[in-house]
Amino acid sequence: MEAIQHIISDPKYHDLFAILKAFRNGIVYGAKVRFPHALVMTFLFKSGPLKTKLLYIYKATKQHAQNLGIFATIYKTMMLIQKRINGGKEESFHPFIAGLVGGYFVFGENNGINQQIILYLFSRVVMALVKIPVKKQILDAPKHTYPVFAAVVWGLVMWLFKHQEDTLLPSLRASMVYIYRDSEYWHSLRTLLWHNK
């Protein structure tokens, strides 16, 4: 045990163990995030036998955990390779390149789990980009960027719903139909105020 402790504490192995730990942390985090989400969503919205539901929860959790673990491994490995190629110096574009490679190979398959992860990240990236003009003091306050961002997002989604509805994800499309299209139709006081249809 002492020999193992000596090896994992040795600075010359730090980068390799950082890759291993990134893999481990990606798997653990992916499982922690996906399991409760899959559990709740499956029992709320999926029908079928218990065995099928449990299998879906397991597969969704496994895929999310595995994807984050593999991505973390590729990312850390690419960062290490770029740093070594560059004489031990990390450049500002290295994380972008490492993220591109990992994103393409791990999240490039178009499936439900990957879509949810990418949409989550995309929304967070856009929110961060909205804050940059304020941080760089290009604009003096968030009141100048956030309202414009909110307006553009809502303008785009309403235009897409009206003219390119089939491009929207089914869950968004269903909620848009319920709120904006179904509100055009009623047959009685009951379907006007209490029930949609």
Q: Structural domain boundaries of the chain?
A: 2-108
pLDDT at 52: 96
> Is the pLDDT confidence value at 39 over 70?
yes
State the average pLDDT for the chain.
Answer: 92
What's the pLDDT tens digit per position in 61-71?
A: 999 999 999 99
Joined tokens for residue 12: 């010359």
Residue 130, class by beta-carbon neighbours within 10 Å (0-12 exposed, 13-18 middle, 19+ buried)? middle
pLDDT at 131: 82
Contact criterion met (CB below 8 Å) for 118 and 104: no
Output the pTM of the full model.
0.79
Alpha carbon distance 92, 75 (integer Å): 14
> Is the pLDDT confidence value at 101 over 80?
yes
Question: Measured over all CA atoms, what is the biggest interatomic distance in the chain, rounded to whole angstroms?
Answer: 80
User: What count of other Cβ atoms lies within 10 Å of the Cβ of residue 33?
Assistant: 16
pLDDT at 38: 95
pLDDT at 36: 96
Work out the average pLDDT over 43-71: 96
How many residues are recorded in the chain? Answer: 197
What's the pLDDT tens digit per position in 116-174?
A: 999 999 999 998 888 887 787 776 665 667 788 888 899 999 999 999 999 998 889 99
Contact criterion met (CB below 8 Å) for 65 and 34: yes
Q: Which residue has the tokens 């994380």?
A: 95
Q: What are the residue ranges of helices labelled H in the chain? A: 2-9, 14-45, 50-85, 94-107, 112-135, 142-163, 170-176, 189
CA count, 13 A, side-chain hemisphere, 65: 19
